[in-house]
Amino acid sequence: MSEHTFATRVSRWYERNARDLPWRVPGVGAWAILVSEVMLQQTPVVRVLPAYEAWLARWPTPAALAADPPAEAIRMWGRLGYPRRAMRLHDCAVAIVERHGGEVPDRLEQLLALPGVGTYTARAVAAFAYGQRHPVVDTNVRRVVSRAVAGEPDAGPATRPADLVATEELLPAEPAEAALASAAFMELGAVVCTARSPRCAVCPVESICAWRASGQAAPAGPTRRPQRYAGTDRQVRGLLLAVLRESSGPVPRQRLDQVWTDDVQRSRALAGLVTDGLVEPAGGETFRLAGDGPAIPAPALDA
């Protein structure tokens, strides 16, 4: 397969069919792209859109977010899920202000050094905000490359170094074209080359797809077992955070005890929130969101 032909076909398709999303608007800025990439991790676009717009309306720059306590980031995150991402964004904003004068850095190694920024997010910001040539590999891209190039129906659950190499080999040499291709590969996997119901008839690389040529069927079941939510510590943590987010001050433990009847599980969930830095003791038997007041030594969290 010609790498140039593959990238060109997908890029031209993307230019005609890409979804109209606010973080794709030309000139949107690196901070907005960083926010979008963090929010989109494990969260559907439809849920991210209102949260993204509200977040940037309140904190249009890293400096604006860094000036507020982390508690406000947790409150603003609401029910988007995986709230530690709010803390990571706040930590990133502080680091960007302290290390880079309030500007999101454009060098990959500096992006990777930001708190909570990993291989995918750093490369996504470098490519989509700064037009650089980097392999931006998420689940959707791995699936596209696995099928079209390797002829395999599924890429597996985790990104490997080989996935970065395989994707980079498909990118055009010119940085701006490579950045466009990276966005196009991702979009193709999200809306056409989907896990269970690929729409091969409208795929721009259907005629050169190794998996299509092999005649293999898509896997019948999910690649990973869906995570159960009801009754888990994640659910209890969410209920506890909901009470704390809605409070303007410390919340008595007695009030938190009302959200879940299992004392052991509830205490474990609360302890986990404290350990993760999302919640902190506020004196006596009260708790608050992180950074919502002066530091107080933590009491024991026994049930």
Are residues 26 and 176 in contact, defined by beta-carbon separation less than 8 angstroms?
no
Are residues 191 and 19 in contact, defined by beta-carbon separation less than 8 angstroms?
yes
106: nearest Cα among 85, 122, 90, 117: 122
Q: Exposure string (b/e) for 1-29, b if CB count within 10 Å is 16 or more? A: eeeeebbbbbbebbeeeeeeeebeeeebb
Amino acid at 193: C
The span from the CA of 247 to the CA of 258, in Å, is 15
List, by residue number, the catalytic residues: 37
The span from the CA of 140 to the CA of 7, in Å, is 15
Helices and strands, counts by H and E, the chain: 15, 3
Distant-in-sequence, close-in-space partners of 97: CB < 8 Å, separation ≥ 6: 62, 63, 66
